[in-house]
Structure 1
Amino acid sequence: MAPTLTALGIVFGDIGTSPLYAMQTVLQDHGHTVTPDEVLGVLSLIVWTIVLVVAVKYCVFVMRADNDGEGGVLALTALVTGARNEDDIQDAPTYRRLWRSSIQKILLSAGLFGGALLFGDSVLTPSISVLSAMEGMTVAAPSASHYVLPAALAILVMLFVAQRAGTSVIGALFGPVMLVWFLAIGGLGLLSCTHHPEVLRALDPLRALRFLAENGWRSFILLGGVFLTVTGAEALYADMGGVGRLPVRLAWFVIVLPALLLCYGGQASALMDAHTLPPNPFYGLIPSSWGHVPVWIMVGLATLATIIASQSVVTGVFSLTQQAIQVGWFPGVRLHHTSEHESGQIYVPLLNWMIMAATLALTTTFGSSARLAGAYGMAVSTTMLLTSLLYGAYLHRRRHWPLWATAAFVGCLLIVDCAFFAANMLKIADGGYIPLVIALALYAVMSIWQRGTMALQDTNTQATVSPDALEQDLRRHDIPRTPGHVVFLSRVNEPVPPIVGLHVRQFGGLPQHAITLSIVFRRDVPRIAPSERIVRKTFKNVLEHITVHYGFMETPRLLEALAAASDDGAPVSPDDAIFLAEHDEIVAADTPRAFGGLRRWERPVFAFLYRNARHSIDQFALPPDRLVEIGRRIAL
């Protein structure tokens, strides 16, 4: 029961607060007058959208594509781009190798753009969620309408300021609060449905299809609003690694799905006797005979629920950033671990303040959840579309489905995804361009960084020498072996990286106990078993090469890894060793050269990013009095 309760707080905040604004947005798009047939048609669309997208696509199918328990678009990207098949053999025809390379690039680009879109979504979710909750004040007290925006801004500021404290304390409250929220909206919805049991007719899928056919173009426009009911579906997959697949599915089918269907059904029931659309159909669930106190209680509960939804989205972006940094898809930024016991609790100051500034600007500019709904959904619908394509690659590459079966199945998913994507495209002029612009900017950064680091790695690899060549140079030039333990931190997984040659040239000797250490972040798995973490190779009379492997969800603990290597017989003393690392400066080459596909105009951009990024050496927590950096200029 505890994992299920945790899933309620971590996973379902976004989709659980959609009833605050989704029905209102759909009916506003349809017109301010409502009829029973229109209400039942909209309700049927909502019901079957939730069932098909969340229950069937994500809970039944997509959540099976876990990367050692981890989910989300980046984890799925790492899973499918790390797959290997017969096209990888060296003697394969050239056209097959080119096709394989092109597919790899397309899949990687799709994953990177999908991850970038989630950054754009993190700006909109807090705005629309908190604003929709605050708008309940106008139902309880119409004269309080001018307090809605200031109250929303104040809550958002407190939300982002509190991020540095982490979620270890308030996280324990997330599950119980969301349980009360779902029980409340489900109970109010059930009570409202008893007044008009005919809303059960919306369970007939033919009613949704008939509504689409009868309304033609207008019904297509409505799909953009209907999509708001499933905007948190991607969180089910992305947060699966934190709570587990079974608790997520259990919480969805037992608590969340019934509560959402009852809540939307209750809103439809309350609108059956209405001729015009009320200010907020959600708060119409509360009978007017109950007075204003229950409304204020629901406003307070909705505020807590939207804070939880916003918190989950923001912390999800922090976790996504850590993954992207460790696999080389995003420039290094300062990370803070807010818990000594949970490595997944991350705080990223730079992103926190950037998201806060953008969120406050959007909230002030749009001013209401109804206006903000025009910008919401574009990023999520695109991410869902990309997830379906990547899931198809997973079925073909990892599950070995035939190509025709994969195409048929993914084609069924894409019918729904493309319909919602096309409907959300109509929102671009109303603000839908905002998350796309944010995503495109971040995708450009991620793409340039990924290809730039590959170019840098190629340059470093070309500068390596073999252990035999190093031994010959030591003898030929009579280079002395100096006492002491020195660990050379390498950027490439080669026994003799360039930093060894730099040290020999600058200091005129090589330590008696020289250890080259390579840190490899695996892109295809989130965690590495302790027995597989360390690989040692000894080159007699030269040096010892140690490779430490980490998964993309792990925090590197270098001193612990060295201690384990020492216990295994490696000639290294973590408490006494001196650590040497490269401090590179990227400059423009006199003669442009192509490294890893980095274009001419991208090189100065990468140089700027590299100069201002926090490098991997900073996250290893090495003793500053035993860390020496050797400067080097690299021309790209």
Structure 2
Amino acid sequence: MSSASNLDRDPKKIAGLAIGAIGVVYGDIGTSPLYTLKECFNHADLTLSAFNVLGILSLIFWGLMLVVSLKYVVFILRADNRGEGGVLSLMALALRSAQPGSRKYAIIVGLGLFGAALFYGDSMITPAVSVLSALEGIGVISHQLDAYIIPVTIIVLIALFMVQAKGTASIGKLFGPIMLIWFGVLAALGIWNIIKSPDVLAAMNPIHAVHFFASEPGLAFVLLGAVVLSLTGAEALYADMGHFGRPAIRYAWFMLVLPALVLNYFGQGALLLHSPEAIKNPFFLMAPSWALAPLVVLATCATVIASQAVISGAYSMTSQAVQLGFCPRMEIQHTSENEIGQIYIPQINWFLLVSVILLVLAFRTSSNLAAAYGFAVTCTMVITTLLAFIVLGRGASTVKRVLIWFVLLFLLVIDFAFFSANLLKLHEGGWFPLLIGLIVFALLTTWKFGRKLLSERMHDGELPLEGFVEALESSPPQRVEGTAIFMTASSDSVPHALLHNLKHNKVLHERVVFMTILTTDIPYVAARERVVVRKLGESFCQIIATYGFKEEASVPAILAQVELLQPELEFDAMQTSYFLSRETIVEAKYPAMSWWRRNLFTIMSRNAARATNFFKIPPNRVVEMGMQVEM
């Protein structure tokens, strides 16, 4: 069960979780000062005047206050799915207000899946831009080291992905303390430079942002595409709510992360006011020369932690997509005996590694990568706000609902402003996360549609379960010893594997069990609600097991729970056989899928993890019955 569900009001527990949240949740947004202000001035040909510096700082400050603090920390964290957050959890909540098959249902699914698909593009760009921007500090120490930036970046990234299989349990204990030091250094560097130019604090007044927009509205709008870099990682506040709980995430943000970020941005602004030449790398030039090397090392550690968080998020997102039926089964390895959320998916890991290395080699600098960074973030921000309209207003009084919608509408305008500004960067690199998002969206929707169509095709030829059982018991075929468990997706019809077994083997086991495993739209299902056992006849029974979309099904665990509920149903491992259907897709005379979707679905089906591994079924006790399905 998630930390959020067990969280009480114990200050010590909240403090411990807050430190963990600082290490995991805030890694991405915590490393944004490395490149944000530099990109704001590189993004457009801006003079380093006090007017421009204060205007951009004001935009960054109010972006943090309105988008992160108000939208995510205050409002979006309220939309929890039994303590869990993230775009798929929000989608599951929103779907409760729509009828399956309706246009509203399709729109909600489309929004949620596209938001999840964009996350994979973000998972590729974040490690590349974060580690590269940290190691670019080497060039501040000496330009003779510039040639080593990309090779060292690739070595760090390879090492990061190589250790994923060992899990983050031991490394994770270091995340919180390291990031505490990181945010402390951010604040200290900011204060040190603000003391030299305290007038930079005037940027807290929103009038500077207003005047900046009024003087150059076109330029200011374009600059929003760079200002949004200060907000990257905001979605992690919501996605990781289940790990740390709402109070811990809020306390960590307001007590440490927000003040440290604001102080550092303002410190960089103060530096630029009296040393405009520092724009080449204002973050590292805030520090005295003796501190540069340690700061590069600390920044590299912080960016690796930020990358680790988004990589783990990709594993979690994939696992949820598998459980919700939008992705083929994959090999999911647990890397911790105590934490169910710590998983490793080899296919995703190596796919991300290759993609990240190619990104570094193609874009070569953090400035080039920054152009690709904002699109996925801003598009997901818009999707989250749209889904929040459906979820947060539900069940509230009319007055409260109107107030919530008014605030969300105001925030949606801001989200659209950032998103529109990032559309201008599509040709500079924004096309990459969009391309990845579209590819992943096509994969997710193709798999969901293909499985739905496959289920309908198989259901067309199925027989009703109850009448069939009665007929078999009244005139049974040859019975053999042992128990046969037929895995089936339908709980009211006869499994095809049973029909094929009777047709070809002409025997029936002395005890027959039909097992159906379902996934619901909540993250976790209580153990007492997990299993339902129904007696269908003297020698037939049905087991229906329900799991949440953040849980993994285990057939041995289900059978163990059945034995506790009904001791007479004892399952001898050596006397139990499992029967599964294995479908082969062939082209129908009148295809229901386009050729590219059918071929894509066939490839995905062929490469899906075997059901025996996914459901933890003993492989030496499995019989697979093949069948062809026209689509």
How far does residue 454 in structure 1 lie from its aligned partner after superposition? 1.1
Quote the Cα distance in structure 1 between the aligned partners of 2:121 and 2:39: 21
Q: Following superposition of structure 1 onto structure 2, how do residues 29-68 of structure 1 map, counting pairs within 5 Å?
A: 29-31=43-45, 33-68=47-82
Match for residue 617 of structure 1? 612
Alignment of 1:32-111 (within 5 A): 33-83=47-97, 101-111=102-112
Q: Residue 559 of structure 2 is aligned with which of 558, 562, 566?
A: 562
Aligned partner of residue 589 in structure 1, secondary structure? coil
Partner of 2:313: 316
Q: 8 Å contact 1:283–1:295 — kept in the other structure?
A: yes
Write out aligned runs for 1:401-420 (5 A): 407-420=405-418
Residue 511 of structure 1: aligned partner = 509
Quick one: structure 1 residues 478 and 159, their matched pair in 2 at CA, closer, same or farther if it must change by over 3 Å?
closer
TM-score (norm 1): 0.93
Q: CA RMSD in A?
A: 1.9
Are 1:586 and 2:600 counterparts? no
Quickly say closer, same or farther: Cα 1:600–1:372, change in 2 above 3 A: closer
Q: Residue type of the partner of 1:422?
A: S
Tell me which amino acid in the other structure corresponds to 1:43.
Answer: L
Q: Report the Cα offset of residue 167 of structure 1.
A: 0.5
What's the CA shift for 1:574?
A: 5.0
> Are residues 1:602 and 2:597 paired?
yes
State which drifts further: 496-505 or 528-537.
Answer: 496-505
Give the conservation status (yes or no) of the 8 Å contact 1:17–1:129: yes
Q: In structure 2, list runs of 5 or more residues that go unmatched.
A: 1-14
Instruction: Flag the 1:275–1:107 CA change in 2: closer, same or farther, 3 A.
Output: same
Q: Following the alignment from structure 2 to structure 1, what is the Cα–Cα distance between the partners of residues 87 and 572?
A: 38
After superposition, the C-alpha distances for 1:76-132 in whole angstroms (9 at most, x for unaligned) are 111211346xxx5xxxxxxxx9xx700100100110010000000111111111111
Letter aligned with residue 483 of structure 1: E
2-side partners of 1:514 and 1:390: how far apart?
45
Once the two structures are superposed, what CA deviation does each residue of 1:146-180 show, in whole Å capped at 9, x if it has no partner?
Answer: 22111111111111111111111111000000000
Q: Is the 8 A contact 2:469 2:540 kept in 1?
A: no
**Higher mean displacement: 137-146 or 367-376:** 137-146
Residue aligned with 1:130, SS: helix
- Residue 150 of structure 2 is matched in structure 1 by 149
- Which of 481, 484, 487 is residue 483 of structure 1 equivalent to? 481
> Is contact 1:536–1:544 with CA below 8 Å preserved after alignment?
yes
1:19 aligns with 2:20: no
CA shift in 2, pair 1:77/1:574, >3 Å: farther
Any idea what the Cα deviations from partners look like across 1:60-83, whole Å, max 9, x if unmatched? Answer: 000110111110001111121134
Question: Deviation at 1:506?
Answer: 2.1
Q: Which residue of 2 aligns with 1:93?
A: none
Cross-structure match for 2:355: 358
Task: Please report how far the alpha carbon of residue 409 of structure 1 lies from its aligned counterpart in structure 2 after TM superposition.
Answer: 3.7
Q: Within 1, Cα distance between the matches of 2:621 and 2:472?
A: 25
Partner letter of residue 45 of structure 1?
Answer: L
Which residue of structure 2 aligns with residue 573 of structure 1?
571
Correspondence for 2:267: 266
- Contact (CA 8 Å) 2:271, 2:278: kept in 1 or not? no
Matched position secondary structure for 1:527:
coil
Residue equivalent to 2:12: none
Is the deviation greater in 215-224 or in 569-578? 569-578
Partner residue in 1 for 2:499:
501
Change in 2 beyond 3 A, CA 1:427/1:239: same
Alignment of 1:284 with 2:285, yes or no, is yes
Q: Which residue of 2 aligns with 1:549?
A: 546
Q: CA deviation at 1:381?
A: 0.5
Q: Which residue of 1 aligns with 2:19?
A: 5
- Unmatched tracts of structure 1, length 5 or more: 89-96
Q: Distance in 2 between matches of 1:400 and 1:452?
A: 41
1:220 offset after TM fit, Å? 0.7
Cα gap change, 1:398/1:157 in structure 2, threshold over 3 Å: closer, same or farther? farther
Query: 2: distance between equivalents of 1:472 and 1:172?
Result: 58
Q: Of 533, 536, 539, which aligns to 1:539?
A: 536
Q: What secondary structure sits across from 1:170 in the alignment?
A: helix
Kindly report which structure 2 residues correspond to 1:117-156, keeping only aligned pairs within 5 A, or say none.
Answer: 117-156=118-157
Residue type at the aligned position of 1:75: S
Q: 334-343 or 421-430, which moves further after superposition?
A: 334-343
Q: Which amino acid in 1 is paired with 2:37?
A: M
AA aligned opposite 2:239: A
Q: Which of residues 276, 279, 304 in structure 2 aligns to 1:307?
A: 304
Residue in structure 2 matched with residue 455 of structure 1 by the alignment? 453
Letter in 1 for 2:590: T
Alpha carbons 1:10, 1:312 under 8 Å: kept = yes
Answer yes or no: is 1:375 the counterpart of 2:372: yes
- From 286, 295, 300, the equivalent of 1:298 is 295
Alpha-carbon distance in 2 for matches of 1:383, 1:401: 28
The 3 A distance-change label for structure 1 pair 513 and 264 is same
Partner residue, 1:427: 425
**Are residues 635 and 306 of structure 1, via their aligned partners in 2, closer, same or farther at CA, if it must alter by over 3 Å?**
same
Q: Quote the residue 2:439 is aligned against.
A: 441
Q: Report deviation, 1:399.
A: 5.0
Q: How big is the shift at 1:612?
A: 1.6
Cα deviation per residue 1:25-84 (whole Å; 9 max; x = unaligned)? 001123263011111111101000011010000000001101111100011111211346
2:617 is matched by which residue type in structure 1? L
Structure 2-normalised TM-score? 0.94
Distance in 2, matches of 1:404 and 1:520, equals 37
> How far apart are residue 437 of structure 1 and its match?
0.3
Return the alpha-carbon distance in structure 2 between the equivalents of residues 469 and 148 of structure 1. Answer: 71
- The answer as to 2:611 corresponding to 1:634 is no
- Write out aligned runs for 1:89-238 (5 A): 101-238=102-239
Partner SS for 1:375: helix
Task: Give the match's secondary structure for 1:376.
Answer: helix
**Residue 520 (str. 1) matches residue 518 (str. 2):** yes
Amino acid in structure 1 at the alignment position of 2:523: P
Letter of the aligned partner of 1:113 in structure 2?
F
Report if the CA contact (8 A) 2:330-2:614 is conserved: no
Residue in 2 aligned with 1:243? 244
1:190 Cα offset (Å)? 0.9
Distance 1:434-1:400 versus aligned 2 partners, 3 A rule: farther
Match 2:392 to one of 365, 382, 395: 395
Which amino acid letter does the alignment assign opposite residue 159 of structure 2? M
**Contact persistence 2:66–2:411 (CA under 8 A):** no
SS where residue 169 of structure 2 aligns? coil
| SS of equivalent to 1:496 | coil
Indicate conservation of the 8 Å contact 2:612/2:619, yes or no: no
Do the aligned partners of residues 400 and 356 (structure 1) sit closer, same or farther apart at CA in structure 2, a change above 3 Å counting?
Answer: farther
Amino acid corresponding to residue 88 of structure 2 in structure 1: L
Q: Which moved more, 1:524-533 or 1:139-148?
A: 139-148
Task: Please say if residues 495 and 545 of structure 1, whose CA atoms lie closer than 8 Å, have aligned partners that are also in contact.
Answer: no
For the residues of structure 2 that align with 1:15 and 1:542, how far apart are their CA atoms? 59
How many angstroms does 1:475 deviate by? 6.0
Q: Which amino acid aligns with 2:541?
A: E
Checking the alignment, whether the CA contact within 8 Å between 1:484 and 1:512 is kept in structure 2 is yes
Query: How far apart in 1 are the matches of 2:469 and 2:242?
Result: 47
1:469 match: secondary structure = helix
| Amino acid paired to 2:579 | L
